[in-house]
Amino acid sequence: MIAAILTLCGSMALTSCIKDERANSECDILGAWVEGDAYKQYFTDESQMRPTVLYGSNTVQFTVKTLSSLPAQIPVWFEVTPGATIEPASGTAHDFRRGPVTYTVTSEDGKWSRQYEVCFIGSQLPSFLFKFDHYETVTSITNSEYHSFYEVDDAGTRWDIWASGNMGASITMPAGSGPEKFPTSAMTDGASGTGVRLQTIYGGDLAKMFGKPIAAGSLYLGSFDLNQALLNSLMSTRFGQPIDKDPVKVTGKYKYKPGPEFRDKDYNVVPGRIDEGDIYAVFFKSRDKDGNDFVLTGDNVLTSEYIVKKARVASLPATDEWTPFEMSFNEAEVDYDLLANGGYKMTLVFSSSKEGALFEGAVGSELCVDEVEVTFKDIVTE
């Protein structure tokens, strides 16, 4: 009884001192959309009129049938952090045909702001010969630097179609780490020009504390949602980019070297087990049964009911020479009407440790890839 009274007095004394809530200091775009029947025709599907906006991204990307057919003015609407303001204002019309429009979101307390580029892009991957010659160096908040790959089409437009776990690793890696320390980086001695080096690393003491001791190098067609990296890491890898072609096989060149000691997710050595690299491609439906935009995630990338067909290398024997690999998609029926109307997506995944998503693998495993090409069926249009 006395204890209860004392506790009550203590909490009341403290609670009575609670100050008024301060204005929000965050300034994120939480949602973006185009509305109205007049604009439906420009999108392959209604779900594309409201793309997912990730906290970690500074771009908002609308995928349309063709960029050239867009009207001169399209109003885009935004939902931002409560109390924050956006400039230009939500709902104002702009010309997106000549490239991205920059928006600035300012926090409720007026002290913080974020800039976003809002762009409209055509629905097709620009090229299916990936030479990995385009990358930029991103500087993290702790002054670490890591590489981020992208593609450039013949018109010079940049396509941010590749994703990796580098952003997640940057959170827990020692401050000031260089690109070569990160799981995914560019290598200057590619099979031609630069190539991709994927390495399985020890993620750092913090990462270990979070039960994620290793980070496998990965590169995939899709996006990375940092927000989920800790709570539900399998959901942070979002696989797939829109595609309007029917893939048959994937070829490329690789080098592979397994690390010396395979470790489980508790970072214990598993004697005798040799790490393996992995390369696979998945072709899947871009909408779920409710008609919502769909991406594969780490939990279902090889098992989802929306997968149409997939290709996976049988094995990647260790080699320190650039060695060709080839993998074919299994036969499956593809609806060409749907294909022409944004109904499918494809991902292509490279990983230095097959079980990297489960934080299992050997530190030091290294997979290098370059000159990857996807070939397609010739589609005879009626």
Q: Degrees (nearest 5) of the Cα angle 154, 161, 151?
A: 30
Q: Is the Cβ of residue 44 or residue 144 nearer to another protein in the bound state?
A: 144
SS (H, E, C) 241-306: EECCCCEEEEEEEEEEECCCCEECCCCCECCCCCCCCEEEEEEEECECCCCCECCEECCCCCCCCC
Task: Please give the residue ranges that form the binding site for another protein (CB under 8 A).
Answer: 3, 6-7, 9-11, 14-15, 17-22, 25-28, 55-56, 107, 112-114, 140-142, 167, 170-175, 204-212, 226-232
User: From the CB of 30, what's the least distance to another protein, in Å?
Assistant: 11
Q: Is the Cβ of residue 21 or residue 290 nearer to another protein in the bound state?
A: 21
User: From the CB of 37, what's the least distance to another protein, in Å?
Assistant: 35
Q: Is the Cβ of residue 265 or residue 273 nearer to another protein in the bound state?
A: 265
Q: Is the Cβ of residue 226 or residue 339 nearer to another protein in the bound state?
A: 226
Residues 6+ apart with CB under 8 A from 307: 282, 283, 284, 296
Helix then strand then coil, in percent of the chain rounded to 5, is 15, 40, 50
User: From the CB of 152, what's the least distance to another protein, in Å?
Assistant: 26
User: From the CB of 273, what's the least distance to another protein, in Å?
Assistant: 23
**β-strands 296-297, 366-376: how paired?**
unpaired
- For residue 350, count CB atoms less than 10 angstroms from its CB and return exposed for 0-12, middle for 13-18, buried for 19 or more: buried
User: From the CB of 83, what's the least distance to another protein, in Å?
Assistant: 12
Residue owning tokens 């260790």: 318
